[in-house]
Amino acid sequence: MPAYVVVEVRITDPERAARYAAVSPATVERYGGRYLARGGAISVLEGGWDPRLVVIEFPSIEKAREWYDSPEYREVRRLREGAGEWRVLLVEGVDPRR
């Protein structure tokens, strides 16, 4: 069953965030993930919200956790320290056969 990593970001240091953004996709791909949304245009339909969002699909929760906890991604995460505020969650998707 697919799983999704959803990230809400408030960037405070664009240069540092750009360094992180340049190298993080390779780690996502290595673990079978793919970006569904990555900082594109957002239209808020309800409520007061001004996020930058990233949505990454993985084949399973296990693969998503394996990516997030991997030594290579831990190293990449260090690049974003001090670049902003990240809120990251992992959510299980819907079984596509249902």
Say what the pTM is.
0.90
* Tokens of residue 51, six digits: 């996020």
Q: Which residues contact 51 (CB under 8 A, 6 or more apart)?
A: 8, 9, 10, 42
Question: Using one digit for the tens of pLDDT, what is the confidence trace for 12-59?
Answer: 999 999 999 999 999 999 999 999 999 888 888 888 887 789 999 999
79's CB contacts (< 8 A; 6+ apart) are: 16, 19, 20, 23
Looking at residue 96, its amino acid is: P
What is the count of structural domains for the chain?
1
Structural domain range at position 12:
3-92
Structural domain contains residue 49: yes
Helix/strand/coil for 55: strand
* CATH number of the domain enclosing 69: 3.30.70.100
pLDDT at res. 43: 86
Q: Is 31 left (phi over 0), alpha (psi -120 to 50) or beta?
A: alpha
> What is the chain's mean pLDDT, rounded?
93
For residue 98, tell me if it sits in a domain. no
